[in-house]
């Protein structure tokens, strides 16, 4: 088992623990420990990272409305989800274009708070079976959850839409849905599920975030299912009494970046901390990533009360990197391309907000063993980075939205951006 170890060595950078309040909801500061037992992973202040000069952004498509996730089709075209409930078709080629009409047959979603139509992915055998998968939120303020459906893409419409997974239990408020996909070589599907929200949001008499340590709940987990929604027999908790058999790993807060390296086979996830303490993790079957027992994060509110005195613990997996102030991670890609000099095997982590004015991409430089060697910041302007993927042409594509009013209906300020290597 991997225990919490330090994997970050950043020469010449000032590494410090600093926290900026980015509250999702107003909360009352709570009492807690006055001292922190430092963890082994140094903390990176993203705004202090060097800015990359090796790439320039090129806008391929504009006029997207709160885009959230993207998937490349075999012909190079794209599917893009919009948080308010639309699945869009983007034509690639000499002149990229967003088709005016959305794809028909998408189920009704609950678009509220952090919820809506979220990730999209293609079945590994899509060219043969035409199957796609969507994640979205359903329910109301009192009881809502993440749902996963499988459907056939026939032209510009979905047919044979089937629900293959739903999160149990339901939760209140529209926070922390997680909801990233990644496929494993055996054609099983990993899905990240958020912990349910911030205090004072509660379940069964305690803060709902404690569900991340409850194996009888999907909340705060990464789950693994077969392509039809059935449960793999080799899942780590299949034979654990009282555990949800879909669970692959646990102790997560809200993972909105999830990616597998096709060369090394390593699985990486980025997850939101609370007012800082965002993490990059190496995901392993059956392991506990600590939330909220151990964390670099603090409670929302001016007091910045520590959630726990512990940033590390026996039997708990350490993050590869920690970011404070928050980058609000969303979208994650492993670069396996010769287009970008020195980037092969590195990670690109999207950030919704590095400060009050912009998000960015963070390039995490990894060696062949997966050790973090350094980081740099890729600024894209006054935008939130929602998703990042490598296209079949080897280029990196990024979904962005405006910093302000990005959820408001009619705000068509989302873009699909391609990163071009600087000459």
The pLDDT score that the predictor gives to residue 3 is 42
In this prediction, residue 406 carries a pLDDT of: 73
| Of 7, 123, 176, 272, catalytic | 176
Q: Read off the tokens for 30.
A: 């709570």
The CA distance from 36 to 58, in Å, is: 44
Compute the mean pLDDT over every residue in the chain, rounded to the nearest whole number: 91
Concatenate the DSSP letters of all residues of 270-315 into one string: EE--SSS-EEEEEE-TT-B--TTTS-S-B-SSTT--BS-SBS--TT
Q: What is the pLDDT of residues 84-138, one digit of tens each?
A: 999 999 999 989 999 999 999 999 999 999 999 999 999 999 999 999 999 999 9
pLDDT exceeds cutoff 70 at 22: no
Q: Is 90 exceeded by the pLDDT of residue 410?
A: no
Q: Please say if 272 is a catalytic residue.
A: no
Question: Is residue 164 within 8 Å of 170, Cβ to Cβ?
Answer: no
pLDDT digits (tens, 9 = 90+) for 346-387: 999 999 988 767 889 999 999 999 999 999 999 998 999 999
Does the pLDDT at position 14 exceed 50? no
pLDDT score at 356: 66
pLDDT at 9 over 50: no
Residue 32 binned pLDDT confidence (cut-offs 50, 70, 90): very low
Q: 299: Cβ–Cβ under 8 A, 6 or more apart, which residues?
A: 27, 29, 30, 32, 199, 274, 275, 305, 306, 307
Calculate the alpha carbon distances from 148 to 151, 245, 368 in Å: 10, 16, 34
Dump pLDDT digits (tens) for 188-241: 999 999 999 999 999 999 999 999 999 999 999 999 999 999 999 999 999 999
Q: How confident is the model at residue 30 (pLDDT cuts 50, 70, 90)?
A: very low
Q: What is the pLDDT of residue 362?
A: 97
Plot region of 236 (φ>0 → left; ψ -120 to 50 → alpha; else → beta): alpha
Tell me, what's the pLDDT at 132?
Answer: 98
* Contact indicator for 123, 131 with CB cutoff of 8 Å: yes
Q: Which tokens sit at 260?
A: 């597998």
Identify the pLDDT of residue 333: 98
Q: For residue 120, what is the enclosing H or E element?
A: strand 117-122
pLDDT band at 34 (very low <50, low <70, confident <90, very high): low
Please report, rounded to a whole number, the percentage of residues in the chain having pLDDT higher than 90: 84
Q: Look at 119-123, 254-258, 318-322, 378-382 and tell me which has the smallest mean pLDDT.
A: 378-382
Residue range 127-154, pLDDT digits in tens? 999 999 999 999 999 999 999 999 999 9
Residue 390: its pLDDT value, please? 98
């Amino acid at each position: 088992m991997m225990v919490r170890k330090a994997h970050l060595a950043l020469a010449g950078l000032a590494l410090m623990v600093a926290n900026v309040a980015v509250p999702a909801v107003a909360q009352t500061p709570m009492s807690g420990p006055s001292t922190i037992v430092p963890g082994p992973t140094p903390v990176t202040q993203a705004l202090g990272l060097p800015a990359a000069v090796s790439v320039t952004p090129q806008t391929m498509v504009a006029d997207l409305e709160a885009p959230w996730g993207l998937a490349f089709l075999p012909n190079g075209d794209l599917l893009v989800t919009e948080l308010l409930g639309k699945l869009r078709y983007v034509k690639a080629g000499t002149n990229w274009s967003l088709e005016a009409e959305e794809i028909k047959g998408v189920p009704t979603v609950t678009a509220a708070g952090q919820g809506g139509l979220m990730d999209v992915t293609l079945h590994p055998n899509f060219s043969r079976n035409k199957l796609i998968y969507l994640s979205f939120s359903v329910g109301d303020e009192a009881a809502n959850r993440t749902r996963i459906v499988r459907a056939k893409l026939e032209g510009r419409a979905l047919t044979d839409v089937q629900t293959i997974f739903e999160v149990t239990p339901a939760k209140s408020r529209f926070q922390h849905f997680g909801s990233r996909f990644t496929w494993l070589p055996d054609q099983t599907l990993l899905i990240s599920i958020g912990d349910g929200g911030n205090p004072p949001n509660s379940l069964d008499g305690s803060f709902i975030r404690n569900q991340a340590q409850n194996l009888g709940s999907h909340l705060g987990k990464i789950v693994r299912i077969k392509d039809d929604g059935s449960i793999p027999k080799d899942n780590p908790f299949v034979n654990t009494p009282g555990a949800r058999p879909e669970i692959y790993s646990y102790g997560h807060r809200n993972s909105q970046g999830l990616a597998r390296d096709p060369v090394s086979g390593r699985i990486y996830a980025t997850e939101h901390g609370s007012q800082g303490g965002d993490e990059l993790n190496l995901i392993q079957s059956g392991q506990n990533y600590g939330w909220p027992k151990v964390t670099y994060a603090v409670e929302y509110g001016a007091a910045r009360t520590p959630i726990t005195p512990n940033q590390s613990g026996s039997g708990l997996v350490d993050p590869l990197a920690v970011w404070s102030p928050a980058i609000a991670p969303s979208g994650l890609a492993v670069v396996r391309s010769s287009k970008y000099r020195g980037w092969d095997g590195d990670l690109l982590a999207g950030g919704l907000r590095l400060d009050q004015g912009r998000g960015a991409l963070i390039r995490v430089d990894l060696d062949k063993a997966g050790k973090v060697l350094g980081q740099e910041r890729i600024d894209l302007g006054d935008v939130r980075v929602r998703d990042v993927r490598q296209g079949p042409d080897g280029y990196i594509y990024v979904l962005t939205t405006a910093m302000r009013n990005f959820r408001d209906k009619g705000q068509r300020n989302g873009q699909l951006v391609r990163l071009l290597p600087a000459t």
